[in-house]
Each structure stands twice: as structure tokens, then as C-alpha cells.
Copies of this chain bind each other. A is one copy, B any other.
Amino acid sequence: VILEHIKGLISSPGDFGGIKVLVTAGGTREPLDPVRYISNRSSGKMGYALAAAAIQRGAAVTLVSAPTSLDPPAGAELVSVETARQMYQAVMERFSTQDVVIKAAAVADYRPKIVADQKIKKSEGTLILELEKNPDILYELGQRKEPHQTLVGFAAETEDLEANAQQKLRKKNLDLLVANDVTQPGAGFGADTNIVKLFYRDGRTQSLPVMDKKTLAHRILDAVIELRYPGNS
């Protein structure tokens, strides 16, 4: 794995020179009240590894990040957000000037319909929470995408990975989808490693072995370069 990583670094220094890359990372938080929120198990490690790898390879990187406990990579323009709607706004404002957008964040599909001004006090019995849908950032990006732009999405699945991934790739108009079964040991949220399958726009798929997220970040960037400059690799 270390050799792979070093090879990646040696074989492709500067191949992202002049390319503007926007990466989203972390899990959004959707407040119920001033102290409580709905979130997810995303640690932000995959997105931060992608941002760091793209910087190493010469890209101008914007990192739109939901809360994480990670230090942002040096050299990235960091845009900190909390909710899905804040992430939507931050990404949409910047999309038209980007060449590559990699949506590694785990964005909440739903948010509480009502956000209480004050901390909700305990009361007897059950509590009913009504959730409404958040904007679908990846779908919007797929609709607005220009021919020079490369759009990469992630899918964290717990069942029917292949079918769900193929459907997401088409529906969101992606160039590349990185899918992982988060129920596998060594894959997904919180882990330092990941086990993914790449789904390309042209129908190709590629199953990668377990690898650390830094190495995987370079593999994903290799795939982006190949998509942008076919035949060069």
C-alpha cells in the first residue's frame, strides 16, 4: 500500500496543475433546536484526503466542509458549513468556476421541518418529528454541469450496492461514482481504510481492494485525469 502511494506521488506530480477542484467533506448537521441535531457517521477523512491529494498534484482546491474533527489540509481554501442548505449554497455559488467537483460529504437527505428557538424540554410520552427533504446538491450539479466539468459522487450503501450505484450514476448525471458498502469491515465511515467499487459514466466498473483513504484519494484522482484526458494514461 505504501509503495502504491509513493508510486502515485512519483508518477503524477503536477498533473492537476491549472485544474480547479472543489471537494465537499464531512457530515452535515440538521438542527432540531439550539443543542440537538441529526447527523451521520461521516468522519470527513475521505474528503480531506482527496483535498490533500489534489493539492499535492497541483490543483487549486476549495474544500467545502461540514463539521469534522480533522485539521484542514494546508493550501486549501476552506469553506465551513453546517447544514445541507448551507452546503448547497456554498457549492452552487462556486460551481461554475470549477473544473472538477468531488462530493465526498455525507449530506443529510432530510432536515427537521421546525427548528425550535429554545432547547426542547422533556415531556411525557413520544415525540413526533416531521422531516422535510433537503435540496439534492449532486442532482443539481449534474443538471448544471458543462462539458468541461467532471463530476464525481460517492454512494454509501448498506444493501444492493451495484443496482443503487448504477441508478445514482445515471440519475445524477455523474462522470464517476465511488460506491462502498459501509457494512463491510474496513470500509466507510470513521475508518482509515476503504473498500470501493468505481462506476464510470461509460458503463465500466472497477473493484478496488481495501486501501487507506490517502491511497484511494490518489486512485480517484487518477480516474479523474483519465476521464478528462482519455488515452493519456
Contact = CB atoms under 8 A, between A and B. Distances in A.
Interface stretch (A52-60, A121-129, A211-219): A121-129
Given A126-B130, A127-B110, A38 B32 contact: yes
A120 B33 CA distance: 23
B122 A35 contact: no
Interface stretch (A151-159, A192-200, A201-209, A224-232): A151-159
Nearest to A37: B39
Nearest to A38: B38
Contact of A158 (B34, B131, B132, B189): B34
Contact of A189 (B35, B69, B120, B133): B35
A115 to B, nearest CB: 13
Contact of A128 (B33, B118, B129, B156): B129
Contacts of A189: 35
Interface string A124-155: 11111111110010000000000000000000
Given A36-B40, A40-B36, A158-B35, A125 B130 contact: no
Chain multiplicity (copies): 2
A116 to B, nearest CB: 9
A207 B118 CA distance: 22
A35 B156 CA distance: 9
Contact of A127 (B106, B131, B182): B131
11 contacts: A35-B40, A35-B182, A36-B41, A37-B38, A37-B41, A119-B156, A119-B158, A125-B133, A126-B133, A127-B131, A127-B132
Interface of A: 32-41, 69, 106, 108-110, 113, 118-120, 122, 124-133, 136, 156-159, 182-183, 189
